[in-house]
A and B are shown apart, each in its own frame.
Chain A
Amino acid sequence: MNRREFIKHSAAAVAATSVLATACKKTDTKPSLPLEGELEGASMTYRTNPNTGDQVSLLGFGMMRLPVEAGGTARENPDSPIDQEAVNEMVDYALEHGVNYFDTSPAYCQGLSEQSTGIALARHPRNSYFISTKLSNFSPDTWSRHESIAMFERSLNYLQTDYIDYLLLHGIGMSGGGKNAMETFNGRYMENGILDWLVEQKEKGRIRNLGFSYHGNVKDFDTLLQWHDEGKYHWDFVQIELNYLDWHYANEINPRNSDADYLYAELEKRGIPAVIMEPLLGGRLAKQPDPIVAKMHEKDHRYSPAAWAFRFAGSLKGVLSVLSGMTYLEHLKENIATYSPLIPLSEDEEQWILALAKDIYELKAIPCTACNYCMPCPYGLNIPGIFAHYNKCIAEGTMPTADDPENEFKRNRRAFLVGYDRSVPRLRQADHCIGCNHCVSHCPQRINIPAEMQRIDRFVDQLKQKL
């Protein structure tokens, strides 16, 4: 089996840096899945934070897509409470296998992520993990100093701690309240004096590292780093979206976004550690169309599509941690295996995967990562659900096109339409978008959601007309 070989290979490889005493503790329980047994003797790769000396696990646990009791995530079952038992089990497993970075936000899981993360982590010694959360004052209602401070204090309360290891200004570069990105930034953090207040908290030791997560253009990114250069504000770390597709194509996919190679290079130049988000683009890079999967297998059969993506992000030396929003224990296990230890991409592999990115880019999937920031749509649409179905058909190579032979077209047409009704109720489908534009400013991927909705609506209508 490929995984067995992979683990042998891993064990033979030179062990990575030093390891936190608590985190590297191995389980004595009998393995329930082969993976667990195979992980014996393998250990997580760690990176050092130059500011604090923290030894941070290369795999970071994103608490954004937590499982809910009714199955799946809050996106599939928005009413269902978080499955705390499952979260506890995953957090325990993660800690046992060396994962020590947990990333949450007051906005995740409809506001329930911090509480759930707090419950799971409070069962372990506070010095055995790092907590990362954010000041997610997106809504203009929360831009006031009072509301923003209340949000921070609430985070401490929910996370059952008196300090945050890594605090981020959340989603810089996005615009809100009808303002442009920089005006929004000023409204959220500057005019209310919150950034200065956060610096004070850092001096008091309530925040150990202060940084920001970025979803914007090159110009605004440069401005923030200029402040760092000038000594106006010191960024201990910056969270950026990085993966082999966004490396060269983020800007091509949407002119308002920045290619990850630029963002990363700017951080590396200044020695600012980068925390990576969307290494899998909300799972899209793990679910590749068959021809892409075949190419990956051909290149090296030991690595799954997800493993390729994690290896790409983790191979960059300036990366502190790669976040993955994991819902299922199986994903956690696989990702831990990929980084225990990391086998960095060779130069040849890096060139190869960046060339493959071009093929993936040309499939023209909609760059939705199902973060759900656009929801709820006031007119009831299930925006991420619609995009997910569209992308699924692209990924499975079943998108009905005019070039298909007739039988194949008919089959794909039916699969698309019936599958569409199954994954999104009719009243929540793209034809109900009225173009009110409320969602547009909320999308970190800066997708022009109404335009895409209308495009999908026209596509679906044409399919329906071809009886």
Chain B
Amino acid sequence: MLRKIRISLAVICFVLINLLFLGVSWGISQHIAWIAKIQFLPALLALDYGVLLGLIALTLLFGRIYCSVICPLGVMQDLFGWMGKKAKKNRYHHSPEKKWLRYGVLAVFIICLIVGFAPVTTLLAPYSAYGRVVNSLFRPLYDLLNNGLATIESGHDSYVFSEVQIWMRSVTTFVVALLTIVVLGFLAWRNGRTYCNTICPVGTILSFFSRFSLMRVQLNKEKCKNCSLCEKNCKTSAIDFKAGTVDASRCVACGDCIDKCKHDALHYRPLKSSNLQIFKSPITNTKPDASRRAFVTGALLATGAAAMAQAKIKVDGGMAVIEDKLVPQRETPVTPPGSISAYNMNRHCTACQLCVSACPNNVLRPSTDPLKLMQPEMSFERGYCRPECTRCSQVCPTGAIRAITKEEKTAIHIGHAVWIERNCIPVTNGDHCGACARHCPAEAIQMVAREINGAQVEVPVVNTEKCIGCGKCENLCPARPFSAIYVEGNKMHQIN
């Protein structure tokens, strides 16, 4: 019964979060963004006390069902574990809790969180790890399907699917996502929830509370026939049938053992004081699994590899060839409206890529700067930050991008445009232009006549006080591959 309820709820949560990350439709996304906001670490970073207290209360009452139901990385591991169990039955066995590893990782995590060393916190955050997997690996496949359907329906005067660009936003993030699914998938296939009970900082934090949980799985030694099926089917290695203990700090209340037991020896029910002995979990020295260590270091060092050519824009040959735009060197990266400052972004973001998924204009992509690894930044080769869009701010669960309204957005100056004379079309080939000035939504650019290289030309002059840094000028500038006008980020967004 517990197992069935757990699976039903987990499926619902898992489907919702996948829909959200796949960006199936904004009409759906805006109503299910809450599923990201009830994730533990994002709520902690957003200082969403309601969610935090709720999750803690949930764990105190029912144990770590968060890990079984809400956490998408946990559910993903369960999927691999389920497949592993199909390959080989009764494959798990009991192992003692690896406390020093759990607490060691948690300590490192907390220190990095406090000093603001984002690469470690983003890599360890479980929800974000799953977000990266969907965004980098599954989203392109979904988009491919979407574009295929769009092509099919385009012959039938139907407009349900609009074609989207499929492109590699960051090789690093792609590699990290790939390693995440390969390493975690392998571990889950073989040993179940190893990651959750050794590395995952959220798992460790929740384990403090689950040790004291009211409802928990309990083994009744009197009914037990020592068949060992429960232990062999416990993906968290929490059951020691010989000792008759279930380690509540690791148990994720999945209910598998209860279903397996033929002798009615296992129950999920309120704790009786007589059973308090289970608080004591046997301590033994075991070396951390080598593959586990490999994962952490591997993911940290992961760069390069898995080269994937950037998707080229479709060009119809008979027309003028359009060169791809290149990303300009920005001294200060541009972060989306609502992120307040580069500092706030860096401190709060766990690099889940939900904002990248939600961005309909291909503006957001993960950073490759090691100190801001995989945290979002903006660039305008494929689109610009449209004035009516506040999607990233609406989905962000961590407070890295605070929710803003369209009206607030018009007053947030995330950066300012900078003109580069040597790229400007009127200067380089004498054609009349003014694309930047004509398109500026803030009317921050005007064309002024000047003599350059002996020729009278009209060139843009930027009023940086008015400029909001939306990138429309950079995006629509005809100069290629580098625009003649580009956006420099403001370290702190100016509001006026």
Q: Do A and B bind each other?
A: yes
Q: Which A residues form the contact surface with B (CB < 8 A)?
A: 74, 77-79, 110, 375-382, 414-415, 417-419, 421-422, 425, 427-428, 431-438, 454, 464-465, 467
Does B150 contact A422, Cβ atoms closer than 8 Å?
yes
CA distance A417 to B161 in the complex (A): 11
CA distance A378 to B316 in the complex (A): 14
Dominant secondary structure at the B interface: loop
User: Shortest Cβ distance from B312 into chain A, in angstroms?
Assistant: 12
Residues in B425-471 with C-beta less than 8 Å from chain A: 425, 431-435, 438-439
CA distance A432 to B386 in the complex (A): 16
User: Shortest Cβ distance from B428 into chain A, in angstroms?
Assistant: 12
Residues of A within 8 A of B313 (CB): 425, 427
Fill in one digit per residue for B110-127: 1 if any A CB lies within 8 Å of its CB, else 0. Answer: 000000000000000000
Does A379 contact B432, Cβ atoms closer than 8 Å?
no
Does B318 contact A434, Cβ atoms closer than 8 Å?
no
Using known A-B contacts A376-B318, A380-B322, A421-B162, determine if residue A435 contacts B432 with beta carbons closer than 8 Å: yes
CA distance A194 to B162 in the complex (A): 53
Question: Could you give 16 example pairs across A and B, Cβ below 8 Å?
Answer: A78-B319, A79-B317, A79-B318, A375-B319, A376-B319, A380-B322, A382-B316, A421-B162, A422-B163, A425-B316, A427-B322, A432-B435, A434-B432, A434-B478, A435-B435, A464-B388
- Closest residue of A by beta carbon distance from B316: A78
Using known A-B contacts A436-B432, A437-B432, A467-B388, determine if residue A414 contacts B159 with beta carbons closer than 8 Å: yes
CA distance A373 to B175 in the complex (A): 48
User: Shortest Cβ distance from B479 into chain A, in angstroms?
Assistant: 10
Does B162 contact A418, Cβ atoms closer than 8 Å?
yes
Does B159 contact A379, Cβ atoms closer than 8 Å?
no
Does B478 contact A432, Cβ atoms closer than 8 Å?
yes
Does B319 contact A435, Cβ atoms closer than 8 Å?
no
- Closest residue of A by beta carbon distance from B431: A436
Does A377 contact B433, Cβ atoms closer than 8 Å?
no
The interface size of chain B toward A, counting residues with CB under 8 Å, comes to 29
CA distance A381 to B316 in the complex (A): 11
Residues of B within 8 A of A110 (CB): 318
Does A454 contact B320, Cβ atoms closer than 8 Å?
no
Residues of A within 8 A of B161 (CB): 418
CA distance A418 to B154 in the complex (A): 9
- Closest residue of B by beta carbon distance from A378: B320
Does B435 contact A434, Cβ atoms closer than 8 Å?
yes
- Closest residue of A by beta carbon distance from B472: A431
Residues of B within 8 A of A74 (CB): 318
Fill in one digit per residue for B183-220: 1 if any A CB lies within 8 Å of its CB, else 0. Answer: 00000000000000000000000000000000000000
| Residue B314 interfacial (CB < 8 Å) | yes
User: Shortest Cβ distance from B449 into chain A, in angstroms?
Assistant: 16
Residues of B within 8 A of A78 (CB): 316-319
Does B320 contact A434, Cβ atoms closer than 8 Å?
no
CA distance A247 to B435 in the complex (A): 38
Q: Which B residues form the contact surface with A (CB < 8 A)?
A: 150, 154, 159, 161-163, 313-314, 316-322, 386-389, 425, 431-435, 438-439, 476, 478
Residue in B154, B320, B387 whose CB lies within 8 Å of A376? B320
Residues of B within 8 A of A376 (CB): 318-320
Which of B314, B386, B478: most chain A Cβ within 10 A? Answer: B478
CA distance A432 to B383 in the complex (A): 12
CA distance A382 to B432 in the complex (A): 19
Residues of A within 8 A of B439 (CB): 431
User: Shortest Cβ distance from B260 into chain A, in angstroms?
Assistant: 52
Dominant secondary structure at the A interface: loop
Using known A-B contacts A419-B159, A422-B150, A427-B322, determine if residue A434 contacts B317 with beta carbons closer than 8 Å: no
Which 4 pairs from chain A and chain B are nearest by CB? A78-B318, A79-B317, A436-B431, A380-B322
Does B438 contact A454, Cβ atoms closer than 8 Å?
yes
User: Shortest Cβ distance from A453 into chain B, in angstroms?
Assistant: 11
CA distance A421 to B159 in the complex (A): 11
CA distance A433 to B477 in the complex (A): 10
CA distance A454 to B433 in the complex (A): 12
Residue in A377, A422, A432 whose CB lies within 8 Å of B476? A432
CA distance A467 to B27 in the complex (A): 11
CA distance A19 to B411 in the complex (A): 77
User: Shortest Cβ distance from A109 into chain B, in angstroms?
Assistant: 10
- Closest residue of B by beta carbon distance from A438: B431
Residues of A within 8 A of B388 (CB): 464-465, 467
CA distance A434 to B433 in the complex (A): 5
Residues of A within 8 A of B314 (CB): 425
- Closest residue of B by beta carbon distance from A68: B318
CA distance A82 to B337 in the complex (A): 51
User: Given A414-B159, A436-B433, 15 other A-B contacts at CB below 8 A?
Assistant: A78-B316, A78-B317, A79-B317, A375-B318, A377-B319, A379-B478, A381-B319, A418-B161, A418-B162, A433-B435, A434-B432, A434-B433, A435-B434, A464-B386, A465-B386
CA distance A77 to B317 in the complex (A): 8
CA distance A388 to B387 in the complex (A): 28
Residues of B within 8 A of A382 (CB): 316, 319
Does A434 contact B159, Cβ atoms closer than 8 Å?
no
Residues of B within 8 A of A435 (CB): 432-435, 438
User: Shortest Cβ distance from B315 into chain A, in angstroms?
Assistant: 8
Does A380 contact B433, Cβ atoms closer than 8 Å?
no
- Closest residue of A by beta carbon distance from B406: A467
Does B434 contact A434, Cβ atoms closer than 8 Å?
yes
- Closest residue of B by beta carbon distance from A414: B159
CA distance A419 to B159 in the complex (A): 7
Residues of B within 8 A of A427 (CB): 313, 322
Residue in B163, B389, B431 whose CB lies within 8 Å of A421? B163
Does A434 contact B425, Cβ atoms closer than 8 Å?
yes
Residues of A within 8 A of B321 (CB): 380
User: Shortest Cβ distance from A368 into chain B, in angstroms?
Assistant: 16
Does A379 contact B320, Cβ atoms closer than 8 Å?
yes
CA distance A377 to B438 in the complex (A): 19
CA distance A319 to B109 in the complex (A): 87
- Closest residue of B by beta carbon distance from A74: B318
Residues of B within 8 A of A79 (CB): 316-318
Residues of A within 8 A of B433 (CB): 434-436
User: Shortest Cβ distance from B282 into chain A, in angstroms?
Assistant: 59
User: Shortest Cβ distance from A225 into chain B, in angstroms?
Assistant: 37
Using known A-B contacts A376-B320, A421-B163, determine if residue A434 contacts B154 with beta carbons closer than 8 Å: no
User: Shortest Cβ distance from A112 into chain B, in angstroms?
Assistant: 11
Does A380 contact B150, Cβ atoms closer than 8 Å?
no
CA distance A467 to B387 in the complex (A): 11
CA distance A381 to B476 in the complex (A): 12
User: Shortest Cβ distance from B295 into chain A, in angstroms?
Assistant: 40
CA distance A187 to B163 in the complex (A): 48
Does A465 contact B387, Cβ atoms closer than 8 Å?
yes
User: Shortest Cβ distance from A60 into chain B, in angstroms?
Assistant: 26
Which of B319, B386, B387, B388: most chain A Cβ within 10 A? Answer: B319
Residues of B within 8 A of A434 (CB): 425, 431-435, 478
Residues of A within 8 A of B434 (CB): 434-435
Residues of B within 8 A of A432 (CB): 435, 476, 478
User: Shortest Cβ distance from B359 into chain A, in angstroms?
Assistant: 14
User: Shortest Cβ distance from B208 into chain A, in angstroms?
Assistant: 44
Residues of B within 8 A of A467 (CB): 388-389
User: Shortest Cβ distance from B437 into chain A, in angstroms?
Assistant: 11
Which of A377, A380, A417: most chain B Cβ within 10 A? Answer: A380
CA distance A418 to B163 in the complex (A): 8
CA distance A438 to B434 in the complex (A): 15
Residues of A within 8 A of B431 (CB): 378, 434, 436, 438
CA distance A431 to B322 in the complex (A): 14
Using known A-B contacts A379-B478, A422-B150, A432-B476, determine if residue A415 contacts B159 with beta carbons closer than 8 Å: yes
Using known A-B contacts A431-B476, A436-B431, determine if residue A380 contacts B425 with beta carbons closer than 8 Å: no
Residues of A within 8 A of B387 (CB): 465
- Closest residue of A by beta carbon distance from B439: A431
Residues of A within 8 A of B389 (CB): 467
